[in-house]
Amino acid sequence: MARLVLVDTCDQLPGLLPMHGWSALMSSDLVVVGSEDHPFVAHLALADLRYETVPPEGSAALGRTDLLSGMSPARKRQAERVVEVAEAHGEVTYLFGPDDSEPFTRALGMEAARRGVEVEMVYFMLVPKGARLLDLVRVQERLLAPDGCPWDREQTHDSLLRYAVEEVYELAEAVAAGDVAALREELGDVLLQVVFHAQLAEQADDPDRRFTIDDVAGGIAAKLVRRHPHVFGDARGAGEGTARSVMASWEELKAAEKPEREGVFDGVVAAQPALGYATKLQSRAARLGFDWEHDADAADRVRAELDELLAAERPGLRVEELGDLLLSVVGLARRLDIDPEAALRGAARRFRARFEAAVARAGRPLSELTRADWLALWEAAKAAEASEG
C-alpha cells in the first residue's frame, strides 16, 4: 500500500527538524518538494537523500482561486501529482515549504484518501523563538545582492549612521508616549540598522573589516553571560539580586575586560546628548568617591548654582553659570535615580500637548491674547490634562 508522509518544516530553519521528522525522511523511498528553491533542498543533498520536485504547473499557481477549495487550479493539480508520485514509489515524504497553505494540505489529504493512499502527518511542533530574525537577515542580504536595491548597495557604515541615530530617537519617543504599536515598529527599525550594518561588514572588501551578524549576536551573548556571573556562574554573595550590587559587579567586570583604559573617563562617548554625557561623567566620578553624601546636599547645590546664575552680569559668565546649574540638576537627578533625558523629554512632551491645547481653546487670533489670557488658557489645558489622566 502506498504511503504519503507529510512533514511540516520551519521556513527560517529548514534543516532543523525534530527526530521523528528526520526519521520519516530517512525511511522514505523518495522525498518530494514543491520547488527547486525549497529551503530544505541543500540539506537533502547533504544527507544524500533522493528527492523530486513537483511544482505547480504553469504560471497560474498564484492566479485564479477556486472559492470552494481556496486554491488555484494549478495548485490543486499539484496536490494530485504528489499523490500520484506516492502511488508510483510506495512510501514518499512531502516536505512543506513557504508556499504551502492549509487548503493545499487539505487537498493532499483528500486526494490521498480518494486514491486509497495512507497519509501520516509529522508536525514541526515548536518553532524556536527568534526564528523570524532570519527572515530579516535574508531580506537584507537580498537587498545588498548584486541585483538588489540600488540605494541599499550605495550605503556605507558612515552614510547609515544618521538613520541609526534617528531610529533610536523615534524609539525613545514611542517609549515616552507609551504607544505599544509604535514601540514594536520602532524596535524593528532599530533592528534593521543592526542587520544592515552587519551585512555591509560581511561584504566588505577588506578581510580585516569583515564580520557577520552571527559575530555580532555571539559577541553580545557572550558578554552578557560573562558579566552576569550571579546568573550564569558561581558568583554568589551579599547583596546578590539587588540592582546596585549587579551594577557594581558589571562595572568591575567591564573594567577587567578593558585594561587598556587608563583614564577615569575612558570609554565615555563625548558625542552623546549632553544630558547623558554629563550623567555618565558624574556616575564615573561618584564610583571613585566624588559624590554628595546626602540628596539634600545635591539639592542645595542646585539652589546655589541658580543664585550664581542670577547674580552673573557678563553674558559669558551667565553661559557658564547656566551650564553649572544644568550640571547640578543632572547630579540631583542621578542621586534621585531619575534619568534626566527621559524627564526632560517627558516635560517637553507635556509642554507641547498643553500649548497645542491652549491654542485650540483660544478662539481668536493669538496676537490678541494678553499675558493673563495665555496663563488662563495654560491652566485650563493643565486641568483638562489632569482630568483625562
Question: pLDDT by residue (tens digit) across 64-110?
Answer: 445 445 668 888 899 999 999 999 998 999 998 888 888 888 888 88
Angle, helix 371-388 to helix 340-362, in steps of 10 degrees: 110
Percent share of the chain, pLDDT over 70: 89
Higher pLDDT, residue 300 or 254: 300
DSSP string over 26-94: HHSSEEEES-TT-TTHHHHHHTT--EEE-PPSGGGGGS--BTTTTB-HHHHHHHHHHHHHHHHHSEEEE
Cell 546628548 locates to 273
Q: What's 3-122's CATH class?
A: alpha beta
**Rounded mean pLDDT of the chain?**
87
Alpha-carbon distances, residue 125 vs 14, 300, 321, 348 (angstroms): 13, 62, 65, 49
Asked whether the beta carbons of 51 and 69 are under 8 A apart, the reply is no
Residue 257 has a pLDDT of 67
Residue 206 has a pLDDT of 93
CA distance 196 to 144: 9
Residue 209 has pLDDT above 50, yes or no: yes
Fold observed for domain 260-338: Helix Hairpins (1.10.287)
Percent composition of the chain: helix, strand, coil (DSSP 3-state, to 5): 60, 5, 30
Alpha-carbon distances, residue 309 vs 57, 274, 305 (angstroms): 81, 19, 6
**Per-residue cell: 215:** 559575530
Cell 535615580 locates to 337
- Domain residue ranges in the chain: 3-122, 133-226, 260-338, 342-388
- Average pLDDT rounded to a whole number, residues 163-192: 93
Asked whether the beta carbons of 97 and 51 are under 8 A apart, the reply is no
Cβ atoms within 10 A of the Cβ of 93, count?
Answer: 25
Instruction: Let me know if the fold of 3-122 is the same as that of 260-338.
Output: no
Residue 256 has pLDDT above 70, yes or no: no
Question: pLDDT by residue (tens digit) across 331-367?
Answer: 999 999 999 988 998 899 899 999 999 999 998 899 9
Torsion of CA 239, 245, 248, 250, to 10 degrees: 110
Q: Which amino acid, residue 304?
A: A
Rg (CA), the chain: 32
Residue 357 has a pLDDT of 92
For domain 133-226, the question of CATH label 1.10.287.1080 is answered with yes
* Three-state secondary structure call for residue 260: coil
Question: pLDDT by residue (tens digit) across 30-58?
Answer: 999 998 888 888 888 888 999 999 998 76
Asked whether the beta carbons of 123 and 35 are under 8 A apart, the reply is no
Asked whether the beta carbons of 53 and 33 are under 8 A apart, the reply is yes
**Element holding 119 (H helix, E strand):** strand 118-122
Question: pLDDT by residue (tens digit) across 287-334?
Answer: 888 999 999 999 999 999 999 999 998 989 999 999 999 999 999 999
Q: What is the pTM of this model?
A: 0.65
